[in-house]
């Protein structure tokens, strides 16, 4: 009886943890909002929601709904808007979870297929649901006029998609234990610090040196794969969004700023995600070849020993 009831509290705790994490990261994301305090170019709760569904299953969806509900209530929107946005923010991660599982997604993100699935099915495809529903809610409640709907949809869609591309890989591939040498640990820490310093400079500088972050990201992906590439991508994207919110990234209209910002953030996320997956796939193939070679060498050695024993057995001892 007790054994049968044991999973229930664990599921409840997970649901509450997802709701709290959703609400906390929503408050952070809304600080960077560019449209009516409700639409942000980097919506981290979607990354948390998709990662939580992939790790714990669809049974934790009430945590997503509860987090979205509390976050929208805090904004002071009307009941109709709150309900619509909550439904959209819940359905989009569930759609991402379904599509990823349907096409054989692996949480380790160690194949190019997994990276592409996360991009096209988990991010760009599924997050269109929340963007359309959310923009419709803002229009119905009178928050935005008709001519702002395309811009809001684009901001909402890319913001949710970037949340998946930046935060979901970080949560899925976060090392539980990392047994590495002190020199390698120092290299990883130095890389993260250097990336943070460089990102804060290039995203606010008028010299337009944004391309300088890519060598750091490539270094992280080749040397550490997702374990360090994902945090680097998050650092760079947050720095870019903060710069855009402060009016430093691109001093143009909203739509143009969003195009430039999300093109940059998308390039950063895709570079880290795809290069890490390809490197992991290559390393796995190399290890498989090494194991096959070791097994082949062991088999050859065993046959050689058996051949020697047979030859010795045929030797007739002298009289």
End-to-end CA distance of the chain: 78
Cβ neighbors of 294 (< 8 A, separation 6 or more) are: none
SS3 sequence of the chain = CHHHHCHHHHHHHHHHHHHHHHHHHHHHHHHCCCECCCECCCCHHHHHHHHHHHHHCHHHHHHHHHHHHHHHHHCCCCHHHHHHHHHHHHHHHHHHHHHHHHCCCCCCCCCHHHHHHHHHHHHHHCHHHHHHHHHHHHHHCCCCCHHHHHHHHHHHHHHHHHHHHHHHHHHHCCCCCCCCCHHHHHHHHHHHHHHHHHHHHHCCCCCCCHHHHHHHHHHHHHHHCHHHHHHHHHHHHHHHHHHHHCCCCCCCCHHHHHHHHHHHHHHHHHHHHHHHHHHHHHHHHHHHHHHHHHHHHHHHHHHHHHHHHHHHHHCCCCC
Cβ neighbors of 100 (< 8 A, separation 6 or more) are: 50, 54, 117, 118, 121, 122
Task: Look at residue 30 and tell me if it is in a domain.
Answer: yes
C-beta atoms surrounding 306 within 10 Å: 10
Cβ neighbors of 47 (< 8 A, separation 6 or more) are: 163, 164, 165, 166, 167, 168, 170, 171
Cα–chain-centroid distance for residue 306? 53
Place of tokens 């599921």: 11
The whole-number pLDDT of residue 246 equals 76
Task: Look at residue 22 and tell me if it is in a domain.
Answer: yes
Whole-number Å distance between alpha carbons of 244 and 292? 51
Task: Look at residue 12 and tell me if it is in a domain.
Answer: yes
Nearest to 206 by CA among 165, 249, 242, 161: 249
Task: Look at residue 300 and tell me if it is in a domain.
Answer: yes
The whole-number pLDDT of residue 186 equals 93
* Residue-level pLDDT, tens digit, the chain, 319 residues: 455 545 567 888 999 999 999 999 988 887 777 655 556 788 899 999 999 999 999 999 999 999 999 988 877 667 888 899 999 999 999 999 999 999 999 998 988 999 999 999 999 999 999 999 998 988 888 778 888 788 788 888 888 999 999 999 999 988 777 777 888 899 999 999 999 999 999 988 887 888 999 999 999 999 999 999 999 999 999 998 888 877 777 666 766 777 888 889 999 999 999 999 999 888 888 888 988 998 888 888 888 877 777 776 665 555 5
Task: Look at residue 83 and tell me if it is in a domain.
Answer: yes
The whole-number pLDDT of residue 178 equals 73
48: which DSSP letter? H
- What are residue 35's phi and psi, to 5 degrees? -130, 110
Question: Residue 142 to residues 37, 86, 136: CA-CA distances in angstroms?
Answer: 14, 17, 10
C-beta atoms surrounding 140 within 10 Å: 13
Task: Look at residue 318 and tell me if it is in a domain.
Answer: no
Task: Look at residue 180 and tell me if it is in a domain.
Answer: no
For 37, the domain range is: 2-175+186-310
**Residue 23: both structure tokens together:** 């609400």
The whole-number pLDDT of residue 1 equals 45
Task: Look at residue 254 and tell me if it is in a domain.
Answer: yes
The whole-number pLDDT of residue 130 equals 92
The whole-number pLDDT of residue 46 equals 94
What is the count of structural domains for the chain?
Answer: 1
């Amino acid at each position: 009886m007790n054994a049968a009831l044991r999973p229930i509290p664990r599921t409840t705790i997970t649901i509450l943890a997802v709701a709290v994490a959703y609400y906390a990261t929503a408050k952070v994301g809304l600080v960077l909002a560019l449209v009516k305090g409700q639409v942000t170019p980097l919506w981290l709760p979607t990354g948390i929601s998709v990662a939580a569904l992939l790790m714990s299953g669809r049974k934790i969806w009430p945590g997503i709904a509860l987090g979205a509900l509390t976050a929208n209530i805090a904004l002071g929107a009307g009941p109709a808007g709150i309900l619509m946005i909550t439904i959209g923010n819940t359905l989009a991660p569930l759609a991402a979870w379904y599509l990823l599982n349907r096409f054989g997604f692996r949480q380790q993100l160690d194949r190019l297929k997994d990276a592409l699935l996360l991009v096209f099915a988990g991010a760009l495809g599924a997050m269109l649901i929340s963007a359309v529903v959310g923009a419709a809610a803002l229009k119905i409640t009178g928050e935005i006029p008709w001519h702002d709907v395309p811009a809001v949809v684009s901001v909402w869609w890319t913001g949710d998609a970037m949340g998946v591309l930046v935060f979901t890989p970080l949560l899925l591939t976060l090392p539980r234990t990392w047994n590495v040498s002190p020199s390698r640990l120092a290299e990883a820490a130095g890389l993260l610090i250097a990336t943070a310093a460089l990102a804060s400079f290039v995203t606010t500088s008028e010299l337009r040196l944004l391309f300088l972050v890519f060598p750091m990201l490539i270094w992280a992906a080749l040397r550490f794969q997702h374990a360090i590439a994902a945090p680097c991508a998050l650092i760079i994207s947050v720095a870019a969004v903060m710069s855009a919110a402060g009016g430093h990234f691109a001093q143009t209209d909203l739509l143009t700023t969003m195009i430039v910002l999300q093109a940059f953030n998308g390039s950063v996320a895709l570079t880290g995600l795809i290069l890490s997956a390809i490197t992991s796939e290559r390393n796995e193939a190399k290890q498989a070849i090494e194991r096959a070679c070791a097994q082949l060498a062991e088999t050859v050695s065993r046959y050689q020993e058996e051949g020697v024993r047979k030859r010795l057995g045929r030797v007739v001892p002298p009289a």
